[in-house]
C-alpha cells in the first residue's frame, strides 16, 4: 500500500452512530436519571411582569404530605450568581429567587421541594404571595424614558457603547441617502428537550447532572459560587435534546436545586415544563436597528451607520455576545465608512440569552435589508449590488466593519463572488426572474429574495482531546466539546479512525463528564470541529506516530515507511504488516518497545488555533403571496454555503436543514408576544408557531470550499449557517413580491394584508 492509497474518512458521509439509541428510546437524558432518595423541586412564579412582593405565607404548603423543604427569597439572599454586579454597566446582582420585586412574568419567587413531582406541585399551589402590581416596561423605546425597573439605578440603560466617527459619516457624499428600521423580534430557542438538573452533595463534593453545553464552565462557576474547590465539583451531561445556545449558562433553577440538595442532604431534581421554558428561558434576538446608508448611483455603498437597541429583559445573562452584532455589521461587504451606537436596555421581560447565531443573524438581517434597499433605489439587480460591494479575495485576511475604528473582526478567507455565481447557476436566477415576470403578468405576487452572510465561529482559541487505545484495539476519544444532536460521536470518531487506520465502529467518543473529559469551553458558536475536532485529530496523530514507531520496531523497518490502514500497520511497498491490535497489546504490555519509549498508547492535546474562522454563503428564497389573504407560501429555497473542509457532508447537511428551518421560522411565524399588561401571550406551541416539515419546501443545497488556515483541518463552522442567511432571504423575497413594501418579520398574513391594502 502506498501513502496515496490510504483511505480517509474526511468528507465521507458516515451514518450517525447515535441514532440507534435515540430511535429505540435507550438514550439517557437527565430527566431519565433517578438516584436513590431523589426529591423534586417546583418553582412558584410571579404572575405579574412587574410587582413588589409584600408578603409570603408558606405555612399551608409546609403541612402538605411529602414536603421536605421550602426556599424563600431570604434563604438564598447570600447565594452568588453570575455575572458579578457591574455599576459601570448598570448590571445589578442576580439571585436564585426574587428579592423584593418580581421583574418578569414567571420570575421565581419560592421553591418547593417534595418527595414526588405531584406533591411538590400541590404544595406550590398553596404558597400565598401578596403582590403590589407596578407598571410594566415592555418596549425598548419606552424603556429609554420609563422609570428604572431596578431600584437604585438612574435609568433602564445598562450600557451605551459606540465606535466610529459620526462626523465622518455625515461628511460622506453620495447620490443615495436612505434610512430605515429593522426589527428583530424575540424568539424562543425551543429545543425538544427542556432544561433539567439533578444536584447531589456527596462526601466527595457536589455532583450535578444537567442539560448544559459547557460542563467545565458550569464546574468552574458552581465551585466559585458555592465556595468549594473545582476538584470537588463534578458535572455530568448525558444525551442532550437540542441546545441552540439556551443551555450554555446556568439558570436560577439550577442554583435552587444545588441549594436544596445541600439543605436536605438528598439529591434534588428540577425539570423545566414547556410553559416555564417559554416564560423564562433566555430569548433570542430582541433587537431594534435604525440604519442609515450612503451609496452612489452605481450601487456602491460608501458609508453605513447603525443605532442598535438591545432588549436585555429584566436581568443579565451574557454581555460578551452583545457586540458581535455591530462588529459583524458590514457583513460580506467592503464599506469604507462605518460606525455604530449600541445600547442595552432593561425591560420587564425574560432575559435575553444566546440563540443560534447569537448576534450574526441580527447583523445579517439588517445589512441584507440595507443592500436590497440600495438595489431598489438605484434600479440595479440585487445580485449585482452585492457583487459590486463584496470584499474581493485579494483583501483577505480582511479587517471588517470599518477596520479597528469600527471594532470589526479579521476575516480569515473568502471568495464571496464565487459563491454568488454558484447560487445564481444552481438556482437558474435569470430563469426565476423571467418566471416572476410571467407570474406578475398573470396577476400573481411572486418574489425572489437573495441574502449573503458571513459569520464568526471558533470561539475560544484552543480545544482539547485525549485519545486512548485499549488492549483489544478499540479506542476512546475524550473531548471537551459536547453535542446536543449535531453528531459529534460520529464526526470525531471519523477523524480519529482515519488517522489510526481502523474502522469507525472501533472508536468511541466520550464527552460531557468533567471527571474524564479534558478541560475546555464546551460547544457554542460552531467551535466544535474547529477546536475539539482538530484537537481529537491531533491527539490521534500523536498516537499514530507512536504506533508507527512500535510497528517499525516489530518489523525492523523505518517508522517513516509505516502506514496505518485497514486495521494494520504495513511497510510501504511490501506485504509485511502487523495488526493494530498487536501494536496496542505491545504498547500497553510495555514489553520490547523501542528504546526510551514509555508503555501505553494514549495522547492528550490542548491545541491552540490560529484564530477565529468565518464561514459564509448565499441563500435564495422564492415566495408567492396570496393577494386576498396575505398568506405567504415559501415555494423554493436554495443555500450555497462555504464552511471550508467538511468532515461529514451528511451531518453538515443536517445542520444546514435545521438552521434553515429555524431561520425561516423566524422570518415567517416565530415571535414572542407580550400583552399590554406584560403577560406572555405566546406561552405554548398553540400560539408560538414553529415550522413543521409540511410547512417547508425541500431545501436545495450546494457549496464551495475555501479552507481556513486557522486550524489543521481547514474546517469552519456550519451549525449556524442556515439560521443566518435564510431569514433575510425570505424577508427580501416577500418585499420583492410586494414591490418593496418595507414590512418587518415575521411576515404574517395580517402584516402583508395591511401592506397590500395601504398601497
The vertex-696 CA angle with 370 and 311, nearest 5°, equals: 45
- Longest CA span, the chain: 87
The mean pLDDT value for 398-416 works out to 90
Please check whether residue 62 lies inside any domain of the structure: yes
Claim to verify: residue 369 and residue 466 sit in the same structural domain = no
CA distances from 131 to 111, 233, 681 (A): 17, 38, 21
429-450 in b/e form (b: 16+ CB < 10 A) is: beebeeebeeeeeeeebbbbbb
Which domain range does residue 495 map to?
3-27+459-608
Confidence tier at 493 by pLDDT (50, 70, 90): very high
pLDDT at 3 over 50: no
Question: Which sign does the torsion angle of CA 371, 377, 378, 383 carry?
Answer: positive
Claim to verify: residue 379 and residue 475 sit in the same structural domain = no
441 dihedral zone (left: phi>0; alpha: psi -120 to 50; beta):
alpha
CA distances from 186 to 61, 357, 577, 707 (A): 36, 14, 61, 34
User: What cell numbers appear for 193 in the block?
Assistant: 428537550
Q: How many domains does the chain have?
A: 3
Predicted confidence at residue 320, as pLDDT, reads 61
Please check whether residue 169 lies inside any domain of the structure: no
Cβ–Cβ under 8 Å, residues 135 and 124:
no
The mean pLDDT value for 68-80 works out to 97
The mean pLDDT value for 182-196 works out to 97
Claim to verify: residue 428 and residue 464 sit in the same structural domain = no
> Which strand (E) or helix (H) includes residue 185?
strand 176-187
d(CA 58, CA 54): 14
Q: Which of 566, 592, 608 is the C-terminal boundary of a domain?
A: 608
Strand order, beta sheet including 462-469: 507-510, 475-479, 462-469, 602-608
- Rounded to a whole number of angstroms, the CA Rg of the chain reads 28
Claim to verify: residue 745 and residue 629 sit in the same structural domain = yes
pLDDT tens digits along 522-538: 999 899 999 999 999 99
Task: Give the position of cell 428510546.
Answer: 25
Cβ–Cβ under 8 Å, residues 552 and 559:
yes
d(CA 385, CA 723): 23
User: What cell numbers appear for 108 in the block?
Assistant: 421565581
Identify the CA nearest to 505 among candidates 535, 472, 466.
Answer: 472
The mean pLDDT value for 280-292 works out to 96
Claim to verify: residue 23 and residue 103 sit in the same structural domain = no
Q: What is the CATH number of the domain that holds 401?
A: 3.30.365.10
d(CA 367, CA 331): 7
Confidence tier at 5 by pLDDT (50, 70, 90): very low
Claim to verify: residue 588 and residue 645 sit in the same structural domain = no
Between 34-38, 157-161, 699-703, 725-729, the lowest mean confidence (pLDDT) is in: 157-161
> Which strand (E) or helix (H) includes residue 202?
strand 196-202
CA distances from 642 to 68, 240, 411 (A): 55, 27, 14
Task: Give the position of cell 435569470.
Answer: 430
Task: Tell me if residue 462 falls in helix, strand or coil.
Answer: strand
Task: Tell me if residue 614 falls in helix, strand or coil.
Answer: coil
453-476 in b/e form (b: 16+ CB < 10 A) is: bbbbbbbeeebbbbbbbeeebbbb
Task: Give the position of cell 424614558.
Answer: 145
Confidence tier at 4 by pLDDT (50, 70, 90): very low
Cβ–Cβ under 8 Å, residues 185 and 672:
yes
Task: Give the position of cell 507512536.
Answer: 546
Identify the CA nearest to 458 among candidates 250, 669, 242, 644.
Answer: 644
Predicted confidence at residue 405, as pLDDT, reads 76
d(CA 185, CA 668): 12
Task: Tell me if residue 730 falls in helix, strand or coil.
Answer: helix
Task: Tell me if residue 606 falls in helix, strand or coil.
Answer: strand
Please check whether residue 346 lies inside any domain of the structure: no
Q: What is the CATH number of the domain that holds 198?
A: 3.90.1170.50
d(CA 328, CA 341): 13
pLDDT at 234 over 80: yes
Please check whether residue 518 lies inside any domain of the structure: yes
d(CA 311, CA 48): 19
Please check whether residue 166 lies inside any domain of the structure: no
Claim to verify: residue 104 and residue 253 sit in the same structural domain = yes
Q: Using CA atoms in the order 491, 493, 498, 503, what is the torsion angle rounded to 10 degrees? A: -130
d(CA 123, CA 110): 11
**Cα 208 to chain centroid, rounded:** 23
Please check whether residue 186 lies inside any domain of the structure: no
Confidence tier at 319 by pLDDT (50, 70, 90): low
Cβ–Cβ under 8 Å, residues 182 and 367:
no
Confidence tier at 481 by pLDDT (50, 70, 90): very high
pLDDT at 759 over 80: no
Q: Which of 577, 608, 639 is the C-terminal boundary of a domain?
A: 608
Say what percent of the chain tops pLDDT 90.
Answer: 93
Claim to verify: residue 21 and residue 38 sit in the same structural domain = no
The mean pLDDT value for 549-563 works out to 97
Please check whether residue 587 lies inside any domain of the structure: yes
Task: Tell me if residue 319 falls in helix, strand or coil.
Answer: coil
Claim to verify: residue 426 and residue 474 sit in the same structural domain = no
d(CA 175, CA 671): 37
Confidence tier at 7 by pLDDT (50, 70, 90): low
d(CA 728, CA 377): 18
Claim to verify: residue 440 and residue 386 sit in the same structural domain = yes
Please check whether residue 333 lies inside any domain of the structure: no
Give the phi and the psi of residue 457 in degrees, each rounded to 5: -135, 175
Strand order, beta sheet including 699-703: 445-454, 616-625, 632-642, 699-703
Claim to verify: residue 516 and residue 656 sit in the same structural domain = no
102-134 in b/e form (b: 16+ CB < 10 A) is: bbbbbbbbbbbbbbeeebbebbbebbebebeeb
Q: Which of 575, 608, 641 is the C-terminal boundary of a domain?
A: 608
Confidence tier at 407 by pLDDT (50, 70, 90): confident
pLDDT tens digits along 442-457: 999 999 999 999 999 9
Claim to verify: residue 563 and residue 668 sit in the same structural domain = no
Beta bridge partner(s), residue 160: 343
Amino acid at each position: 500500500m502506498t501513502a496515496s492509497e490510504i483511505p480517509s474518512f474526511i468528507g465521507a458521509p458516515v451514518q450517525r452512530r447515535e441514532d440507534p439509541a435515540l430511535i429505540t428510546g435507550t438514550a439517557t437524558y437527565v430527566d431519565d436519571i433517578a438516584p436513590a432518595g431523589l426529591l423534586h423541586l417546583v418553582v412558584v412564579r410571579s404572575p405579574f411582569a412587574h410587582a413588589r412582593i409584600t408578603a409570603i405565607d408558606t405555612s399551608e404548603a409546609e403541612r402538605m404530605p411529602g414536603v421536605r423543604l421550602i426556599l424563600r427569597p431570604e434563604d438564598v439572599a447570600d447565594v452568588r450568581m453570575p455575572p458579578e454586579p457591574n455599576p459601570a454597566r448598570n448590571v445589578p446582582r442576580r439571585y436564585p429567587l426574587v428579592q423584593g420585586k418580581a421583574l418578569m412574568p414567571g420570575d421565581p419567587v419560592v421553591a418547593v421541594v417534595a418527595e414526588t413531582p405531584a406533591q411538590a406541585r400541590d404544595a406550590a399551589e398553596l404558597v400565598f404571595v401578596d403582590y403590589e402590581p407596578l407598571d410594566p416596561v415592555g418596549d425598548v423605546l419606552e424603556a429609554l424614558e420609563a422609570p428604572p425597573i431596578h431600584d437604585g439605578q438612574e435609568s433602564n440603560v445598562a450600557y451605551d457603547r459606540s465606535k466610529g466617527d459620526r462626523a465622518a459619516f455625515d461628511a460622506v457624499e453620495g447620490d443615495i441617502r436612505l434610512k430605515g428600521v429593522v426589527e428583530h423580534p424575540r424568539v424562543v430557542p425551543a429545543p425538544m428537550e427542556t432544561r433539567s438538573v439533578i444536584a447531589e452533595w456527596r462526601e466527595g463534593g457536589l455532583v450535578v447532572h444537567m442539560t448544559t453545553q459547557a460542563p467545565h464552565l458550569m464546574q468552574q462557576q458552581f465551585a466559585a459560587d458555592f465556595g468549594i474547590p473545582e476538584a470537588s465539583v463534578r458535572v455530568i451531561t448525558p444525551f442532550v435534546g437540542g441546545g441552540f445556545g439556551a443551555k450554555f449558562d446556568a439558570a436560577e433553577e439550577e442554583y435552587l436545586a444545588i441549594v436544596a440538595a445541600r439543605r436536605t442532604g438528598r439529591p434534588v431534581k428540577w425539570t423545566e415544563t414547556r410553559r416555564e421554558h417559554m416564560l423564562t428561558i433566555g430569548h433570542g434576538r430582541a433587537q431594534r436597528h435604525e440604519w442609515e446608508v450612503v451609496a452612489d448611483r452605481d450601487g456602491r455603498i460608501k458609508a453605513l451607520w447603525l443605532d442598535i437597541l438591545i432588549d436585555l429583559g429584566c436581568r443579565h445573562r451574557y454581555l460578551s455576545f452583545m457586540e458581535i452584532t455591530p462588529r459583524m455589521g458590514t457583513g460580506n461587504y467592503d464599506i469604507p465608512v462605518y460606525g455604530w451606537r449600541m445600547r442595552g436596555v432593561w425591560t420587564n421581560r425574560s432575559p435575553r440569552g444566546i440563540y443560534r447565531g447569537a448576534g450574526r443573524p441580527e447583523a445579517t438581517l439588517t445589512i441584507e435589508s440595507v443592500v436590497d434597499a440600495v438595489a431598489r433605489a438605484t434600479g440595479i439587480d440585487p445580485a449585482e449590488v452585492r457583487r459590486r460591494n463584496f470584499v474581493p479575495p485579494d483583501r483577505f485576511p480582511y479587517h471588517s466593519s470599518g477596520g479597528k475604528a469600527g471594532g470589526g473582526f479579521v476575516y480569515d478567507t473568502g471568495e464571496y463572488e464565487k459563491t454568488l455565481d454558484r447560487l445564481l447557476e444552481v438556482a437558474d436566477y435569470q430563469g426565476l426572474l423571467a418566471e416572476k415576470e410571467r407570474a406578475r403578468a398573470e396577476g400573481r405576487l411572486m418574489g425572489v429574495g437573495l441574502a449573503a452572510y458571513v459569520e464568526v465561529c471558533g470561539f475560544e482559541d484552543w480545544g482539547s482531546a485525549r485519545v486512548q487505545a485499549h488492549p483489544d484495539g478499540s479506542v476512546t476519544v475524550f473531548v471537551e466539546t459536547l453535542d446536543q444532536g449535531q453528531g459529534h460521536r460520529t464526526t470525531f470518531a471519523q477523524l480519529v479512525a482515519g488517522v489510526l487506520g481502523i474502522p469507525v465502529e472501533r472508536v468511541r467518543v466520550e464527552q460531557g463528564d468533567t471527571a474524564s473529559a479534558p478541560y475546555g469551553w464546551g460547544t457554542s458558536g460552531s467551535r466544535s470541529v474547529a477546536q475539539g475536532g482538530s484537537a481529537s485529530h491531533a491527539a490521534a496523530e500523536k498516537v499514530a506516530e507512536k504506533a508507527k514507531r512500535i510497528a517499525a520496531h516489530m518489523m525492523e523497518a523505518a517508522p517513516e515507511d509505516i502506514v496505518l490502514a485497514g486495521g494494520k500497520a504495513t511497510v510501504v511497498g511490501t506485504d509485511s504488516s502487523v495488526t493494530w491490535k498487536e501494536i496496542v497489546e505491545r504498547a500497553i504490555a510495555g514489553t520490547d518497545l523501542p528504546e526510551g519509549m514509555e508503555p501505553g498508547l494514549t495522547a492528550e492535546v490542548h491545541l491552540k488555533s490560529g484564530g477565529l474562522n468565518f464561514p459564509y454563503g448565499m441563500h435564495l428564497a422564492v415566495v408567492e403571496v396570496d393577494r386576498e389573504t396575505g398568506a405567504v407560501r415559501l415555494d423554493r429555497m436554495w443555500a450555497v454555503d462555504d464552511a471550508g473542509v467538511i468532515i461529514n457532508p451528511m451531518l453538515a447537511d443536517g445542520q444546514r436543514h435545521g438552521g434553515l428551518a429555524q431561520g425561516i421560522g423566524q422570518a415567517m411565524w416565530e415571535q414572542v408576544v407580550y400583552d399590554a399588561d406584560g403577560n406572555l401571550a405566546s406561552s405554548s406551541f398553540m400560539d408560538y408557531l414553529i415550522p413543521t416539515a409540511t410547512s417547508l419546501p425541500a431545501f436545495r443545497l450546494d457549496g464551495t470550499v475555501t479552507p481556513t488556515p486557522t486550524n489543521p483541518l481547514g474546517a469552519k463552522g456550519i451549525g449556524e449557517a442556515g439560521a443566518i442567511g435564510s431569514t433575510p432571504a425570505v424577508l427580501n423575497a416577500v418585499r420583492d413580491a410586494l414591490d418593496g413594501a418595507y414590512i418587518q418579520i415575521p411576515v404574517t398574513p395580517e402584516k402583508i394584508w395591511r401592506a397590500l391594502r395601504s398601497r
